[in-house]
Amino acid sequence: MTMPAGMLFAAPEWPRLRLFRALRRRGYVRVGGRRRLPRGLGSALTLALFASVGLYGAFAGGHVDRFRAENGTLSDAVARAFGFGIKQVVISGLAELRPAEILEAAGISPNRSVLFIDPAEVRRNLEAVPMIREASVRKLYPNELAITITEREPFALWQRNGEVFVVAADGTVIDFLNDARYARLPLVVGDRANERSADYLELLDAAGSLRERVKAGSLIAGRRWNLILDNGLEVRLPESNPTAAVARLAELEESERILERDILVIDMRQSDRVVMRLGAEAAAARAEAAKKKPVASAKEADI
């Protein structure tokens, strides 16, 4: 077949040629069996190398730690820049604890932001404090937190093995005694005395006017109490119906002023008598008087 004069032949564009051109336009082609990388990749890798070196230097030089100490995390710093910094914390339910103690336990500081605080985590931090029985935390956008706590009420002091603890009414140990504000609490001594502190308070109530003179209650063998008075006198109470014995002691003090005598121990474990052990001077005087009178001397007298 002959072509008319002057007509040009247009060869068809083969599929491979089209693919080659498409890949070359994208900057990724094969030439002579070698693969060419995308344009600009070398510059990007160079920038990444410098960035990595800069980050390593920041961590190694402590710059990141200083930034966090002064400004918090980067996310918190950015959130504060957009108005989500903590400007107010409303705390309710305080009785013995102080606001500063709550903020410290919760991990809340001016470097934190409302946006990135986890209320569940703050609640767990607060409830880890022995003094706090329950806590709730709410975020009030854009810049407030609301914290509500329920404290364990300090009920008594418990001395055991030379250490003194603050305990709740159910005997739960709240904390070591390291604060003078708890010194006013009743003091119980001995194994498991913390679990019986409510019984001791009943004895104090029965003491009436003598209550202020009772400084501690010592639980003996987990069964009965000894009262320690402010002058060092020891009152031994019976295992059964000790409140009646304490009430009787208050009556004797009112009528006989027995606590003003030189007495070391008052034993009330027997229901029909009160036995007193005299102090050294009183015992010596008693012995001297016994020499002049033919009666058996004793350091313990019944009244």
CA-nearest of 84, 136, 135 to 110 is 84
158 & 245 share domain: yes
Residue 30 located in a structural domain: no
Q: Tell me the β-bridge partners of 150.
A: 134
- Last residue within a domain, chosen from 112, 135, 151: 151
Mean pLDDT throughout 218-237?
95
117 & 246 share domain: no
Instruction: Fill in the amino acid letter for 242.
Output: P
- Last residue within a domain, chosen from 122, 151, 180: 151
Residue 22 located in a structural domain: no
168 & 286 share domain: yes
Report the domain count for the chain. Answer: 2
Residue 169 located in a structural domain: yes
Can you give the CATH number for the domain in which 208 is found? Answer: 3.40.50.11690
Q: Domain span at residue 280?
A: 154-291
Distance (Å, whole) CA 237 – CA 225? 6
Can you give the CATH number for the domain in which 94 is found? Answer: 3.10.20.310
- pLDDT, position 301: 43
Mean pLDDT throughout 143-147?
95
- pLDDT, position 299: 44
The token duo for 136 is 């709730």
pTM score, whole prediction? 0.57
CA distances from 45 to 41, 48, 50, 52, 101 (A): 6, 5, 9, 10, 50
CB neighbours (10 Å) of residue 87? 13
State the pLDDT confidence band at 67, using cuts at 50, 70 and 90: low
Q: Is it the case that residue 174 has pLDDT exceeding 70? A: yes
